Amino acid sequence: EAGVVQSPRYKIIEKKQPVAFWCNPISGHNTLYWYRQNLGQGPELLIRYENEEAVDDSQLPKDRFSAERLKGVDSTLKIQPAELGDSAVYLCASSSRRDRWEETQYFGPGTRLLVL
Amino acid sequence: GDSVTQMEGPVTLSEEAFLTINCTYTATGYPSLFWYVQYPGEGLQLLLKATKADDKGSNKGFEATYRKETTSFHLEKGSVQVSDSAVYFCALRAGTYKYIFGTGTRLKVLA
């Protein structure tokens, strides 16, 4: 079974430029998460989708961040414009909600963003 | 709010030494508890989990027991290997699928 796929793996941009990250979850997983991981920290949730619906976006900085999950499969996270403080690793994870107590997140390799 | 506290690293051990990484949590209700491992340049991989009090999660020689009375989920391994060098994250999941992660503990195992 293929894992969670993310692209690009690395991105270097200048501040005020836009950037987009793409995630393809594990087939059949209806829950998709985007996390931001700052250097030396644990992941922090940005947004969670159930199918195509964003059910928790309370931590997403909506002035510059946006996300979409068309057709409830792939997802894109965008930052426009990027700021220096956005430099981090952006992780995508997916899970299946078949059994609430057995639900397990599977993470992609992440996109490492550097804003200059 | 819910939170996870884990011991600061780095933890440096010799090969075959005993490992303990402490993790305590604060949560309302009865969270599920997890340990994830992150190798350099990779995403997080689930190492083990426990969903209720007194459950013991185990995998690849690692184990952790869900202790409700001490709100702890310490990670242990009897004999570490160089290949275990990584960053280890303790996490909890509250009832609404919200995961809270600790800050991570870097483990370095020397040959």
Higher pLDDT, B24 or A58: B24
Q: Which residue from B minimizes the CA distance to A89?
A: B43
Q: Which of residues 9-28 of A touch B (CB under 8 A)?
A: none
**Each residue of B36-63: pLDDT tens digit?**
999 988 889 999 999 889 999 999 999 9
For chain A, give the percent of residues with pLDDT over 70.
94
CB contact under 8 A, B104 and A42: yes
Higher pLDDT, B29 or A63: A63
User: Pairing between strand B11-14 and B105-110?
Assistant: parallel
pLDDT value, residue A84: 96
Q: How far apart are CA B7 and CA A92, in angstroms?
A: 26
Looking at residues B56-80, what average pLDDT do you find? Answer: 96
Q: How far apart are CA A72 and CA A52, in angstroms?
A: 4
CB atoms within 10 A of CB A52: 14
CB atoms within 10 A of CB A116: 10
Which residues of chain A neighbour B89 with C-beta distances below 8 Å?
42-43
Looking at residues A45-57, what average pLDDT do you find? Answer: 93
> How buried is residue B54: exposed, middle or buried, by Cβ count under 10 Å (0-12/13-18/19+)?
exposed
CA A96 to chain B, closest CA, distance in angstroms equals 11
DSSP state of A100: G
User: Which pair of structure tokens corresponds to residue A25?
Assistant: 């979850």
